[in-house]
Chain A
């Protein structure tokens, strides 16, 4: 074993979406950082769909941006179709989504990494952690190099003992076309971690030259693409449409005819797959009454003919795949360029982590991304960012960054992971956030920019601009609260023409804006000042005023819950606490929650158990 000359502060294993953010964050915070990957040409590769964002995921990307991560900027620079989802619904549940040019996305991220100070990028497969006197001291690679490091972040994605299934045929692989990572998960098990299997899948990549697009419905992006990053001024990439196609009863017949050779239905696959991302055979079996399933045909890039049929992932045998894809209208002659497959991989149950993403078992070791049982680029990137920040802070002796459930989707996700653990791939949903109205895309900077700046991940100029925006918002809100309408005939006439009636004399602009039928445009008809107000400021003011009552209620909940959230559960021997049920004792001992708030979210922990715990804590205090 050759011991490499450098001693790194942070070693990141894997250069997917988690690994890239982790390495960048650590290096930007001044840590000497090493990024190791099996294949330097696959940095930030999008293994599945060529898109970033979506419901709850868009929120994650904006939070990553506000904290100083790279994902938002990267998609802004390489996105070829931008859409805001849920525009007909309220601002809290609007989300951005963009199609990426897969190759450009990967290349730009590689370039960013290459230009990053304090960061080395090397090709190499880590086969074990290097422990010296019981302390984590580095990693060993297959080619015989030992890299020394003070902390390690594992972001192995689907690579650990990856096994690819196409029908009843299967072979080891980390992703279609890539080798798996072998040995590392065995090493983790030897060190005492609980390791288990998950499964996910991806559809075939099709040759767009063999699809009759004239028979498909086009779906364009927004006329004016809205960037993800708060610092991107404008999207410069050319924009292209997606297409919508549908399966039909014959497609479903073909699917059914292949079930006897499905690795899923014959029990070949042990890993649990995501319910929210079912394979087409799953959908056909579970919802037999549906006559068709929709698919979006997404381009993989501007300079490739490959397209991605979303929603049509499968692990059925290749002959069934041929027949199935060709059964779709417009796809009669379609050529498969890469087959669809399912992949099983090892993950480490994240209940073994602190909220900092450091493992409870081995100090200075962090896990981020799919190794924690999540799925999705955005979920991975967000964890990578937090792991990178915390590994770097750990090495320099600082307290970890832990975001609360009321602060960020990132906080909700990590709390879910480390509190409840994972038994199926975890995806972010807005419904997982109890404070959804507060955790919006539009205010991600207001929620987190300050934190990013304090950490050292936002430059002064950016921060000054953000502070200016925040001041303008506050000023505008107090202006609206204190401006009364004159109730002149002209004003009332104008308002009536816009469907606003029954105006109370001398009402404030704030109260006027609260009314569902009133928006800023109407206000500016009678209020010259707001014509000059910046549009991003108006957006914030309008949302804050319109949601006002509900937001207040949520804030109240938060302050009520904060005592539980801040009560730490340390050194408690649950087995001797009187009044806890056997189930509660077993769960608390297994999940080892850090706080009373976390304990309350574990299934099977009843309100009664929580009160027993808080009594036990009080008695401990007194003793």
Chain B
């Protein structure tokens, strides 16, 4: 292989866990393994690839034992980065792992940048661009479903689907090119209608992928839900019920929650970031005023608004302020809170056709129903197992697929009156170029290979 410096990082998430994994990649990996690790049984000075060794990680200067560990070498090219990789599995906990890492850095590695292992895997041709990006998604994945989605993409589901479309279109292009370049050989007696069918196949598949972006992107990035309501409407109690712990301060003094508190939870695979906001009311307190204007501003930027109406108190001008601030772009779930208390609210006529969800956060009544509604508002594939549907999560992919679709739609408009072949070729090439950008593949000469292997041509 080639010379490149050796990188190292703790690969397990921060915090306490059973074990921590420190990964090292580069030419120096084996040397580092030899200097920081002493195997229990002698390994005759060498490591076998893909074999675990038990032993001790030691401090090179003080010869002190840092931890007991399992160590494995994966030699190039049979590794994730296609470089020599060393993994040290030691006990979890920040202190131990940090100490092992610093020992490795002393022995000739440098700290890896975020995503650098994946970058090397990509540069060394181990994975394609779409796969590399989804590895980054795995690292950043917020929920289990997002993780599975990323996993699926990494394994090339998405790439395969795109490749399948590209292959069909490439064959069409080959036919078009053969008709153009070999008019006397007449490959054109070959069926041009095959082109139409592969274009409509591409249309279907790409449209499917494009529309799955909605879900895919929601699963990857999650959504934000704004809990809005006048002071003491029960917002923090609801948030607490949602979070099932006492993170947000719950109090009966109006206006305690001045700032916006953010918390994420996972509803069947959808990451929802709940924003608890300052209660809305007319106030002269400058701090509170700031909080209120921020809340009103966030109503339009949240993905969904949960509007809490305190059922134990009469409808007030503050409620009306919020009601009027709700636009039509953002979905709203109207919730009557504190339904365990006497019912005193008198809703105006403007609420006549609005469905209301009753909850009592203190007794956990209606909270699950609220979560289901939030999820169903967003995921079209409600109830379906998200792992089964192929989904795109990247804006870049969606944009690429949409621009390919645009050309395809234009082509299909010509169905009645076939476009001149040389123009069809321009469009097909452009689509193939766009799809190639998704997988990071370039294809230049293989078109001629395809022509000569598919059609009997030449004199």
Q: For the complex formed, measure the closest distance between the CB of A349 and the CB atoms of chain B, giving whole angstroms.
A: 16
Which of A55, A293, A434 makes the CB contact (< 8 A) with B181?
A55
Taking a contact as CB atoms under 8 Å apart, the answer to whether B459 and A585 are in contact is no
Question: Is B2 an interface residue, CB under 8 A from the partner?
Answer: yes
Query: Scoring B residues 444 to 459 as 1 if CB is less than 8 Å from chain A, else 0, what string do you get?
Result: 1101100110001111
Taking a contact as CB atoms under 8 Å apart, the answer to whether B452 and A276 are in contact is yes
Taking a contact as CB atoms under 8 Å apart, the answer to whether A585 and B420 are in contact is no
Question: Is B417 an interface residue, CB under 8 A from the partner?
Answer: yes
Question: Is A420 an interface residue, CB under 8 A from the partner?
Answer: yes
What residues on B are CB-neighbors of A516 within 8 Å? 417
Q: Which residues of chain B (422-459) have a CB below 8 Å from chain A? A: 422-423, 425-426, 429, 437, 440, 442, 444-445, 447-448, 451-452, 456-459
Taking a contact as CB atoms under 8 Å apart, the answer to whether A607 and B458 are in contact is no
Instruction: State the CA gap A429–B450 with chains docked (Å).
Output: 14
Taking a contact as CB atoms under 8 Å apart, the answer to whether B2 and A607 are in contact is no
What residues on B are CB-neighbors of A430 within 8 Å? 177, 180-181
Taking a contact as CB atoms under 8 Å apart, the answer to whether A293 and B417 are in contact is no
Instruction: State the CA gap A49–B447 with chains docked (Å).
Output: 27
Instruction: State the CA gap A171–B272 with chains docked (Å).
Output: 81
Query: Which residue of chain B is the closest to A54 with respect to CB atoms?
Result: B184
Q: Which residues of chain B (70-90) have a CB below 8 Å from chain A? A: none
Which of B184, B445, B452 makes the CB contact (< 8 A) with A85?
B184
Q: State the main secondary structure of chain B at its contact with A.
A: loop
Taking a contact as CB atoms under 8 Å apart, the answer to whether A311 and B123 are in contact is no
Q: For the complex formed, measure the closest distance between the CB of A574 and the CB atoms of chain B, giving whole angstroms.
A: 10
Question: Is A310 an interface residue, CB under 8 A from the partner?
Answer: yes
What residues on A are CB-neighbors of B2 within 8 Å? 580-582, 585
Taking a contact as CB atoms under 8 Å apart, the answer to whether B422 and A293 are in contact is no
Pick the most buried of B129, B447, B448: most chain A CB atoms within 10 A of its CB: B448
Taking a contact as CB atoms under 8 Å apart, the answer to whether A581 and B183 are in contact is no
What residues on A are CB-neighbors of B421 within 8 Å? 89-90, 93
Query: Scoring B residues 99 to 134 as 1 if CB is less than 8 Å from chain A, else 0, what string do you get?
Result: 000000000000000000000001111000100000
Task: Using known A-B contacts A607-B440, A608-B123, determine if residue A89 contacts B459 with beta carbons closer than 8 Å.
Answer: no
Task: Using known A-B contacts A277-B458, A296-B459, determine if residue A431 contacts B177 with beta carbons closer than 8 Å.
Answer: yes
Question: Is B4 an interface residue, CB under 8 A from the partner?
Answer: yes
Task: Using known A-B contacts A431-B448, A437-B426, determine if residue A311 contacts B440 with beta carbons closer than 8 Å.
Answer: no
Taking a contact as CB atoms under 8 Å apart, the answer to whether A286 and B456 are in contact is yes
Task: Using known A-B contacts A55-B182, A296-B184, A431-B180, determine if residue A290 contacts B456 with beta carbons closer than 8 Å.
Answer: yes
What residues on B are CB-neighbors of A287 within 8 Å? 456
Pick the most buried of B122, B123, B180, B457: most chain A CB atoms within 10 A of its CB: B180
Q: Which residues of chain A (304-319) have a CB below 8 Å from chain B? A: 310-312
Instruction: State the CA gap A2–B357 with chains docked (Å).
Output: 109
Instruction: State the CA gap A585–B3 with chains docked (Å).
Output: 12
Task: Using known A-B contacts A295-B459, A582-B1, determine if residue A436 contacts B181 with beta carbons closer than 8 Å.
Answer: no
Taking a contact as CB atoms under 8 Å apart, the answer to whether B4 and A578 are in contact is yes
Pick the most buried of B185, B426, B457: most chain A CB atoms within 10 A of its CB: B426
Taking a contact as CB atoms under 8 Å apart, the answer to whether B440 and A603 are in contact is no
Which of A85, A311, A437 makes the CB contact (< 8 A) with B422?
A437
Instruction: State the CA gap A151–B59 with chains docked (Å).
Output: 69
Q: For the complex formed, measure the closest distance between the CB of B286 and the CB atoms of chain A, giving whole angstroms.
A: 50
Question: Is A86 an interface residue, CB under 8 A from the partner?
Answer: yes
Q: Which residues of chain B (157-205) have a CB below 8 Å from chain A? A: 177, 180-186
What residues on A are CB-neighbors of B122 within 8 Å? 608
Q: For the complex formed, measure the closest distance between the CB of A25 and the CB atoms of chain B, giving whole angstroms.
A: 28
Taking a contact as CB atoms under 8 Å apart, the answer to whether A581 and B125 are in contact is yes
Q: Which residues of chain A (573-593) have a CB below 8 Å from chain B? A: 578-583, 585
What residues on A are CB-neighbors of B447 within 8 Å? 431
Instruction: State the CA gap A582–B423 with chains docked (Å).
Output: 39
Taking a contact as CB atoms under 8 Å apart, the answer to whether A429 and B445 are in contact is no
Task: Using known A-B contacts A581-B124, A585-B2, A607-B440, determine if residue A431 contacts B456 with beta carbons closer than 8 Å.
Answer: no
What residues on B are CB-neighbors of A275 within 8 Å? 448, 452, 458
Q: For the complex formed, measure the closest distance between the CB of B77 and the CB atoms of chain A, giving whole angstroms.
A: 10
Query: Scoring B residues 382 to 423 as 1 if CB is less than 8 Å from chain A, else 0, what string do you get?
Result: 000000000000000000000000000000000001001111
Q: For the complex formed, measure the closest distance between the CB of A304 and the CB atoms of chain B, giving whole angstroms.
A: 21
Which of A583, A600, A603 makes the CB contact (< 8 A) with B125?
A583
Question: Is A550 an interface residue, CB under 8 A from the partner?
Answer: yes
Taking a contact as CB atoms under 8 Å apart, the answer to whether A56 and B181 are in contact is yes
Question: Is A278 an interface residue, CB under 8 A from the partner?
Answer: yes
Which of A85, A274, A582 makes the CB contact (< 8 A) with B183?
A85
Question: Is A458 an interface residue, CB under 8 A from the partner?
Answer: no
Taking a contact as CB atoms under 8 Å apart, the answer to whether B180 and A93 are in contact is yes
What residues on B are CB-neighbors of A601 within 8 Å? 444
Instruction: State the CA gap A134–B412 with chains docked (Å).
Output: 63
Question: Is A564 an interface residue, CB under 8 A from the partner?
Answer: no
Q: For the complex formed, measure the closest distance between the CB of B257 and the CB atoms of chain A, giving whole angstroms.
A: 48
What residues on B are CB-neighbors of A484 within 8 Å? none
Instruction: State the CA gap A300–B186 with chains docked (Å).
Output: 24
Instruction: State the CA gap A364–B155 with chains docked (Å).
Output: 53
What residues on A are CB-neighbors of B420 within 8 Å? 89-90
What residues on B are CB-neighbors of A468 within 8 Å? none
Taking a contact as CB atoms under 8 Å apart, the answer to whether B422 and A436 are in contact is yes
Pick the most buried of B122, B451, B458: most chain A CB atoms within 10 A of its CB: B458
Taking a contact as CB atoms under 8 Å apart, the answer to whether B459 and A90 are in contact is no
Which of B1, B129, B417, B445 makes the CB contact (< 8 A) with A603?
B445
Query: Which residue of chain A is the closest to B429 with respect to CB atoms?
Result: A434
Taking a contact as CB atoms under 8 Å apart, the answer to whether B448 and A607 are in contact is no
Question: Is A283 an interface residue, CB under 8 A from the partner?
Answer: yes
Question: Is A595 an interface residue, CB under 8 A from the partner?
Answer: no
Instruction: State the CA gap A432–B448 with chains docked (Å).
Output: 9
Taking a contact as CB atoms under 8 Å apart, the answer to whether A603 and B423 are in contact is no
Taking a contact as CB atoms under 8 Å apart, the answer to whether B183 and A86 are in contact is yes
Q: Which residues of chain A (262-316) have a CB below 8 Å from chain B? A: 274-278, 283, 286-287, 290, 293-296, 310-312
Query: Which residue of chain A is the closest to B457 with respect to CB atoms?
Result: A276
Question: Is A170 an interface residue, CB under 8 A from the partner?
Answer: no
Instruction: State the CA gap A605–B448 with chains docked (Å).
Output: 19
What residues on B are CB-neighbors of A432 within 8 Å? 448
Question: Is A368 an interface residue, CB under 8 A from the partner?
Answer: no
Taking a contact as CB atoms under 8 Å apart, the answer to whether A429 and B123 are in contact is no
Instruction: State the CA gap A55–B187 with chains docked (Å).
Output: 15
Q: For the complex formed, measure the closest distance between the CB of B79 and the CB atoms of chain A, giving whole angstroms.
A: 15
What residues on B are CB-neighbors of A226 within 8 Å? none
Q: For the complex formed, measure the closest distance between the CB of A97 and the CB atoms of chain B, giving whole angstroms.
A: 9
Query: Scoring A residues 157 to 171 as 1 if CB is less than 8 Å from chain B, else 0, what string do you get?
Result: 000000000000000
Instruction: State the CA gap A431–B425 with chains docked (Å).
Output: 9
Taking a contact as CB atoms under 8 Å apart, the answer to whether A553 and B456 are in contact is no
Taking a contact as CB atoms under 8 Å apart, the answer to whether A429 and B444 are in contact is no
Which of B426, B429, B440, B457 makes the CB contact (< 8 A) with A606?
B440
Which of A286, A420, A581, A605 makes the CB contact (< 8 A) with B445?
A420
Query: Which residue of chain A is the closest to B174 with respect to CB atoms?
Result: A431
Query: Which residue of chain A is the closest to B182 with respect to CB atoms?
Result: A55
Taking a contact as CB atoms under 8 Å apart, the answer to whether B182 and A278 are in contact is no
Task: Using known A-B contacts A582-B1, A607-B440, determine if residue A429 contacts B184 with beta carbons closer than 8 Å.
Answer: no
Instruction: State the CA gap A462–B26 with chains docked (Å).
Output: 66
Question: Is A554 an interface residue, CB under 8 A from the partner?
Answer: yes
Taking a contact as CB atoms under 8 Å apart, the answer to whether B1 and A277 are in contact is no
Question: Is A38 an interface residue, CB under 8 A from the partner?
Answer: no
Question: Is A417 an interface residue, CB under 8 A from the partner?
Answer: no
Taking a contact as CB atoms under 8 Å apart, the answer to whether A608 and B423 are in contact is no
Instruction: State the CA gap A600–B444 with chains docked (Å).
Output: 10
Q: For the complex formed, measure the closest distance between the CB of B307 and the CB atoms of chain A, giving whole angstroms.
A: 48
Question: Is A92 an interface residue, CB under 8 A from the partner?
Answer: yes
Q: For the complex formed, measure the closest distance between the CB of A416 and the CB atoms of chain B, giving whole angstroms.
A: 9
Instruction: State the CA gap A554–B427 with chains docked (Å).
Output: 11
Instruction: State the CA gap A583–B122 with chains docked (Å).
Output: 13
What residues on A are CB-neighbors of B129 within 8 Å? 608
What 8 additional pairs, Cβ within 8 angstroms, besides A49-B459, A90-B420? A286-B456, A437-B423, A553-B426, A601-B444, A603-B444, A606-B125, A607-B437, A608-B129
9 contacts between A and B (CB under 8 A): A55-B180, A55-B181, A56-B181, A283-B456, A296-B184, A429-B448, A550-B423, A581-B124, A608-B122
The 4 closest A-B pairs by CB, nearest first: A311-B459, A431-B177, A287-B456, A275-B452
